[in-house]
Structures are given as structure tokens and as C-alpha cells.
Structure 1
Amino acid sequence: MTALQQEGNTMDSNSIWLRRTLMSGISRRSVLQGLGTAGLAAGLSLPLAGRARAADPVTLRWWSPQASPDQLKMYQTQIATFEAAHPGVKIAFEPTSDEGYPAQLAAAFASKQLPNIVTHLPSFAAQNYYGQGLLEPMDDVIKAIGEDKYFPGANDVYKTADGHYCGTAIGNTAADMLWLRKDLMQKAGVDKAPTTWDELRTACQKMQGGGIFGAPLPYGLNSMTSLIFIGFIHRAGGQIFSPDLAVAIDSQPTYDALEFYKSMREFCPPGATNYSWGESLTAFVSGATATGIYAGRVLANVTSQNPGIADSVTCATYPTISKDVASWTFNDFPSVFIPKDIANMAETKAFAAFLFEPKGYIPQLLAAPGHVLPVLKTIAEDPTYLADPIIQKYKAEVTLMAGAAAAGKNLGYETDKHKPNLKANEIIASNVIAELVQRVVLNDEDAKATVGDIAKKLEGLMKA
């Protein structure tokens, strides 16, 4: 077998053609015109032939907080495929933390010891870092992936004031769905999914007992409590900031949300005072709570860890204070972004586009089916994606989550009328919203005085 035939076993036809052409000495412009947008390297100008001859391999560092064992396995497959197709380029995956990434990235930017690519952080993190001049525009990566492949508006949250994109979406999450046990509902005489807070309290009260608690809401001083409680304020009809980004937390909906959140404490396990994402997820999956609040990872975890309840699990959008208040779903818009001051930018952008190639992107999504949902229409309609047993089994739930996520928002993008909030990352990292919950709900401090104090802290963060 010739070297070129061996190469053909690990490279797609566009990559082989690009490498041949570059080695023949044809101009870069001619290469790119010939490729158009058909392949992952289109418009990215990855110097494959030069890298093949390089004495020292290029190493690209990839950071992500999404690093469950099944996801790591899929990442390693993507990495191996990319490395085989791009001799001389190595990818080093480094897991980060949902709670700790602000400090990790702050240190990386300060020391110039930067990852080449960061994935699965919230969109508001990308907006924040871009606003500080720390990120590379992602326009050419989006074009290489194919703008027409995305669902409409998938990248709107990444639009910047200077007309570029600070990142691109690698998925959607409906992060605060209400998860339910149909078997427990039937046993307790709960005949439908709750749609209002009063209905939710009643359902939790009826289902609690026999060692099972009603809900796993978080009350810890952490990002989950902040992000989840922001959703409760919106589901009371309020907001953290006005559309022009004036602090608007001191309002009746915030007091209503605090009152309800406090009333739910009796239905949550004692350890909920320290709950973050992992503890809340485990509480529902293990059967310790009758309801859950999480994204679609519930489906894969129940299937593998507690299959006895798998046929009884379903979800709904989280209830609001009344039927007059519209639903609000937290979508962190898991992102891909690239720090500005890195070496090997061409290789990094080629790898970023490569992450969306179907042979790698579909297995990555299906490492936790229903959790991170596809942002490309071509993937959502792909028979390989749709054939997954969990996607098939929970078709109604996945469809509901996809619709909720598509309309979802977050602190950096509270409503369609809001300006992008470039301070959202610092606000979440400060835990100031979680502090509000702990002081009023756990410590029984005066709500009016505490909200006023938190409003001042938010104003200070916005001005910093």
C-alpha cells in the first residue's frame, strides 16, 4: 500500500485534495477557491504539508467542563481522527470546572498560558472575554462549518458590537427542565405535570414520603443556585436587569420568587443547602427526589444508573407563578471560542470547524443523549443521530427540550429586548444571586433590605 493510500484511510477526500495541492505548490488562494465551503478547511488555510514535515509537533490545548467518562471517550475519538488527518498536530484535552472556570481562565489570560480552544462554556462567558479584547472572532469558523447548516438564530447570542461573532454554538441545553416520575405521580394522585408554582408545591407535598423528597433545588453558594434562581425571578415575571441594563432586581417578582423558593425548602433534602449541579442531578436520578431540575443528561444517567425508573421519567417546562406568566428556560448556549493571543491559529480554527463534522459531532452529542442538543439542522435530521435508542425512547421529551432551548435565555441575554450583558460572567462568578438566596431563605434575613443590598452589589459589578 502506498503512503497516499494509507493517508486515504484516515483523511476525507477534501483533506487529501488539499494536502496534494499544497504540496504541488499551487497558491493558497487557488486552494481555497477550489474548496469553497465544502470541507472543514475551507477558508481556514491549514498548512498541512508544512506540518507534516515539521520537526516539532504542534500541540493544541482543548478545555471543556463537559468531561463525563462517555464524553471523554468520544472526544478522544475525535482527537485521534483529527490527528490522523493532520500529521504533526496533537490535541491535548484538559477538563475544567463549571464552578471554577472563571478563575482558571483568569489565570490563563494573565499568565499567557492559554488553551487554544474552549468549548461548552456559557455564551455570556464568550461575550465577556470578547468585550475585554481577549478572543478571536469566529466568523471564518462559522463560514467553514456552513452558516446554512445552523438552526436560524443559533449564533445570534454571539453577535458582537463590532459586527463579528465572539464564539459559535456547539449545542443547546434546556438546563432547568422540570423532571417528573410518572409512577410517583400516579401513586400520589397527581394527574398532570404542574404548570404553576402552587401546583408544583402541591405535587411535591403529595409525592414526598417514604424516604423520597419532593425536589432537589439548590441552595448552595454557587453558580447553580444563581443561575436557577434567576430563572425563578423570570418565572415570577421579573428580571435582573432592564433591557438597557439598569439593575432591576428590586421588584415584586423577586420577592415572590424568594417567598416561593423559601417555601420549597421543606421538600428538598437536608444536603440541598450545598447542592450544585452534580448533587441535584444525582438526587433525582438515584430516586431520592420525586422531581428534578436539570438538562437532558437525566435521560442517559437514569438509563445507565437507575433503569428501574427509566420508563417512568418524563419532563415539562418548569412551572411559573401563574398561567399569565410565560415560561422561561435557561439555555447557557454551550459555546466554542478561541483566545486571541495563541500560537497556531490556523490549526486551531481548523480543529474548531472539525468538531462539527458529523462523524465526530454526532457521537459527541450522543455521549449524553438529549443533554447537549444539536445546533445544526443537518445533524438534528441525521438518521444516525435519530436512531440512538435514548433519543428514540424519549422522543417527546427531546422534542420538548429542543423547543424550550431554542427559545431559551440566560443572564447575558435575558430577553429578546435586552442588550447583551457583558458583565454576566463576573456576576455569576461572584455568587451574588446565590448570596441573596442564602441570606433570605436560609438565614431568614429581611427580604427588602437584602434585595436592596444585592442591588447595590450588582450596580458595583456593572461599573467595575
Structure 2
Amino acid sequence: MKKSWYAHLGIAISICSLWSYPAFAAETIRFLHNETDPPSIEYYNKAIADFEKQNPDIQVEMEAAGTDARLQKLTAAVRAHTMPDVIKILPEERDQLATNGYLEPIDDIVDSIGRSDFLDGLLVPVNGKVYDVPYTLGNFSVLWYRNDLLKQAGLAAPTNWDETLAAAQKLTKDGIFGYAFPGGQNRQTSQVFAALMWSAGGTFFDSDFNVTFNNPGTIKALEYMKKIAAFSPPGYASYSAGDMVNVFLSGKVAMEVYAARVPGNVAVNNRDLLPKMGAAAAPKGPAGVAAEFVSGNSYAIASAKGGAKHIEAAKKFLKFLMSKDQLTAFSLTAFPHFIPPLKSVQPGLIAAGSDSMGGHDEFAKLSFDISNGMDFNNEAGAKIVDGKIVRSGKINPYAGAVVARGIPALVLQRVLVNNESPESAAAWGAQQMEAVVRELKAKN
């Protein structure tokens, strides 16, 4: 039998496998994710081919969409009850999808993998059941810098906000900008802003899910970002994920705090820049801590209510993707950005990826250290104790809607683009968040 593949790469990528002379009617499961980088697509193509070879009665139809497009597609599918069988979801989406019955419980898959092998805190039950399984984490709070430029200026890697601001000012010259950050109306901007707010002692919510956004930490973070924007590239106010990578690749930025996609892309696309790079923990904020935005990416299975047609086949495919071999192969496609969720996978992965980073093991070790990590979903009521982030353990049911509406990014834009005062922007943001909470409570 001859198997043919068709691929279309644009906003979305669909890969369908068709048997020319089928001896039986195979189940076709739909798979939606947003890992659109070419190495990730190459990985998934191979993984799907291997899975289909092992399971000839199951075919996989893949669709990969960009970050914003994935959310739009998922939202539309939920409303129409036409969800793909296997989907990538974010932590802040979990509660609403599971509570409303759109996801299938997958405790059986988690147990087959081994619960104790998952990094602490990654498995988050909803009403006592697990509905999603993390396949990777991303730490968006590592300081990447041009070591050659800092040395020429007589500077060491900054360790706090004041040092970062001073270094950014000194390094901004001769066509080089001292610092870059995402300032567009997107999730990446909300992530970076959140980590700075946490580092200044603020949170979006308290442990009872009351909005606490209008706080001194928020205002300090806005003031800091306003100051450092003076030493950032002129296009920063529209930057998103790809821009953060590309501007560093261009050699025009001396420092940025972002994900480990930065060195991964440097290693592939501008390897001459790799020996000139350095990495350090994110600079500490006024509260004496460098909070990290650590975002999990999970696979979930849609329920029959959501539109899934082949739940058991989808479970087979999900279990295959979560095997140690597949997690390792996937993580190597964007090393050291993709942090595997299983403790047993990490040591071998760091060793396997070392050569690709020119021997810079510290790039992976810094990225994999998520000891002060939080995300939108679990930051409610977090405290700083002895220079460490201590989470409340509460999972916020309102965070997803707040972030989906882009409120944190819009607050920052009001300050950076519209010249609104931090105090006024923080008050506006708090009002918007409170309106979201009231709306969701009214629906429930």
C-alpha cells in the first residue's frame, strides 16, 4: 500500500495521511497545537508516521496554528462543539474547559506514566480529576546578554533592576540597544509584565480570588518598564515572541529577559553569535526576588460534549506522545527552551543538547531552574518569603479570561504608548479584571 502525505504551512498546517487501498475503515483523530517552528513540525510529522505505523487502525490529522490563532480556533470549536480530539491547552484554560465538561479525564494516562515522575505541582486536578498532562514547560525569565558588549563596557551581568537600567543606558550606542522586551498586545507582553510585577511584590489576585492588581508592585513594574523602554528598539511596543528572538539574532540588542528560544535560535541561525552570549538569572526586583514566568503547555482530550469522535484512539496517541523517547525528541527540537515535565528525562536531555549550545550547559540549567516560577493560573495570593516565591496553592478560575482579553498587556500599553500614569493604568486594569470576575460569576 502506498501512503501519501500532504502539507500546507501558513497560519495553519494540516497533515493528513490517506491509504490508497484501505482494507478497513481507520479512525481519524484530529490534533491541534501551536508548535509551528519547522523543527517542531518535522518532529510531529515523524511522530505521527511512527504512531500510525504502530497503530494502522488510527490516522492522525494534524493542525498547527500560531499562538493567537490556536486560541481563536479552540474558542470557535468549543462554541460549535467541534473540538479536535487531542488539543494543546494552557494552564489558565484548564478550569473552564474541564468544569464545563469539554475535556475527558485522563487519570489513567497519568498513572501509566507515573505520577511521581512529574515535576512538583505540574498535575493540577479539577474537582479531583486530571484533565490535562504537561508535555513541556517554558521559563520566560532568563537574562540573555551579549557578553562581549558587556565586557567592552566594563560591566558584569546585572543582578537587579537598578543595575539593569544602568547597564541598558550605557550599552545603548552605535546602533546597539541596551534592552528589549515585548510590548505588543499579546500574551508574551502579559507574561513579561507579570514576572516583573511579582518581582516587585504584587499579584493579580489574592488567595480568595479578589483582584489585587492595583498595588505598589504593579506601579513599580510599570515605572521600571517605562524607564527601560528609553533604551529599547523603537519597535518594542509591537513586539511578540518572534520579535524577541529576531532582535537578539540581529545583533542589535545587548540584553533581554526571555525564554530559552533565544540561544536555541542563535545556535541554528547565527552560530557565530553563540560564543559571544552569556546567561544569568533574571535580575531581582524591589521585593528582593527574581520571579520567573514558567508556563506549562499541556495536551488534553476533548470530551464527547466538546465534539471528540474517537476518545480511546486519542488516548492511545496521547500516551505515545508522552513516552520518554517522544518527550526527549520533542524537547531537542527547541533545546533548551522546551523543559520536559518528567524528572527522569531531564539529565539525559541536558547531556544530549550540550553540543548544540557549544558546551554552554548553563543555558539549559538556568532555564530548567524553575524554583521561583509561577504562571497566571497559580499566582493568586503568592507571597515572598526569605527571597523565595511561596504560592498559595490556589488555582484561579478567572485568570484565563483576564489574559485572553489581554488586560495586562493593555495596561502596559496605556503607560508606554499613551503616556498614561502608572497609577491610572493600574486602576483601569483592576477595574477591567473586576468586571471579568463579575461576568464569570454571573454565568455560574
Alignment partners' CA distance in 1, 2:313 and 2:410:
42
Q: CA deviation at 1:418?
A: 4.9
SS at 1:387 equivalent? helix
Shift of 1:393: 1.7
Instruction: Give the CA deviation at 1:63.
Output: 1.2
129, 134, 141: which one pairs with 2:102? 134
Counterpart among 113, 128, 146 of residue 163 in structure 1:
128
What TM-score do the two structures reach when normalised by structure 1?
Answer: 0.83
Classify the secondary structure of the residue corresponding to 1:321. coil
> Out of 327, 332, 344, which is 2:295 matched to?
332
Query: Which residue is equivalent to 2:336?
Result: 370
| Aligned equivalent of 1:244 | 208
Alignment map for 1:48-447 (pairs within 5 Å)? 55-119=24-88, 121-155=89-123, 158-160=124-126, 162-191=127-156, 193-322=157-286, 324-341=287-304, 342-382=308-348, 386-388=351-353, 389-390=355-356, 393-404=359-370, 406-414=371-379, 415=382, 416-447=391-422
Q: Deviations 1:329-382 (Å, cap 9, x if unpaired)? A: 011111111111211111111111111223322111101111111111221133
8 Å Cα contact 1:60-1:89 kept in structure 2? yes
Q: Alpha-carbon deviation of 1:190?
A: 0.7
Say whether the 8 Å CA contact 1:362–1:385 is kept in structure 2: no
The alignment partner of 1:56 has SS state of: coil
1:456 to 406, 431, 440: 431
Q: Deviations over 1:23-72 (max 9, x none)?
A: xxxxxxxxxxxxxxxxxxxxxxxxxxxxxx97321111111111210111
Aligned twin of 1:43: none
**2: CA distance, partners of 1:306 / 1:326:** 33
Go from structure 1 to structure 2 and tell me whether the alpha carbon gap of 1:225 and 1:153 turns closer, same or farther (over 3 Å shift). Answer: closer
3-state secondary structure, aligned to 1:331: strand
Deviates more, 1:388-397 or 1:258-267: 388-397
Conserved? CA contact 2:263–2:357, under 8 Å: no
1:392 is displaced (CA, Å) by 7.0
Q: Distance in 1 between matches of 2:96 and 2:35?
A: 20
Q: Hey, what's the Cα distance between the residues in 1 that align with 2:187 and 2:122?
A: 24
How many residues matched? 404
The answer to which of 214-223 and 181-190 deviates more is 214-223
Larger gyration radius, structure 1 or structure 2 = 1
Where do 5+ consecutive residues of structure 1 fail to align? Answer: 1-52
Richer in helix (by share) = 1
| CA displacement at 1:224 relative to structure 2 | 1.4
Counterparts of 2:324 and 2:376 in 1: how far apart (Å)? 31
Does the 8 Å contact 1:151/1:376 carry over to 2? Answer: yes
The one-letter amino acid paired with 2:33 is S
For residues 446 and 295 of structure 1, the distance between their equivalents in structure 2, rounded to whole angstroms, comes to: 29
RMSD of aligned alpha carbons: 1.8
Shift in Å at residue 390 of structure 1? 2.5
The residue identity in structure 1 corresponding to 2:340 is P
**Cα distance between partner residues in 2 of 1:82 and 1:294:** 34
Counterparts of 1:81 and 1:395, CA distance in 2: 31
Report deviation, 1:385. 5.8
| Alpha-carbon distance in 1 for matches of 2:179, 2:96 | 33
Residue 8 (structure 1) aligns with: none
Within a 5 Å distance, the mapping from 1:10-25 to structure 2 comes to: none
What corresponds to 1:23 in structure 2?
Answer: none
Deviation at 1:154, TM superposition (A): 3.0
Whether contact under 8 Å (1:126, 1:335) holds in the other structure is no
Q: Give deviations 1:261-286, integer Å, cap 9, x for gaps.
A: 10011111111111111111211122
Q: Residues 77 and 347 of structure 1: is their aligned pair in 2 closer, same or farther, counting only changes over 3 Å?
A: same
CA distance in 1, matches of 2:314, 2:81: 16
Alignment check: 8 A CA contact 1:128 1:424 kept = no
CA distance in 2, matches of 1:130, 1:278: 31
Which letter does structure 1 place at the counterpart of 2:429? I
Inter-partner Cα distance in structure 2 for 1:202 and 1:112: 53
- Once residues 293 and 131 of structure 1 are traced to their aligned partners in structure 2, the CA distance between those partners, rounded to angstroms, is 35
- 2:100 alignment partner AA: Q
Residue pair 1:127, 1:166 contacting (<8 A) in 2 also: no
The 3-state SS of whatever aligns with 2:103 is coil
Tell whether the 8 Å contact from 1:242 to 1:418 is kept in structure 2 after alignment: no
Change (3 A) 1:140 1:426: same
Report the AA paired with residue 188 of structure 1.
Answer: A
Does the 8 A contact of 1:54 with 1:88 survive in 2? no
Q: TM-score, normalised by structure 2?
A: 0.87
Go from structure 1 to structure 2 and tell me whether the alpha carbon gap of 1:205 and 1:411 turns closer, same or farther (over 3 Å shift): same
Q: Structure 2: give runs of 5+ residues left out of the alignment.
A: 1-21, 383-390, 440-444
Q: Which amino acid aligns with 2:138?
A: T
- Cα offset, 1:126, TM superposition: 2.1
Kept in 1: contact 2:275–2:358 (CA 8 A): no
Query: Could you list the per-position Cα deviations for residues 261-320 of structure 1 after superposition, in whole angstroms to 9, with x for gaps in the alignment?
Result: 100111111111111111112111221211123211112210111111101222222223
- Pick the structure with more strand per residue: 2
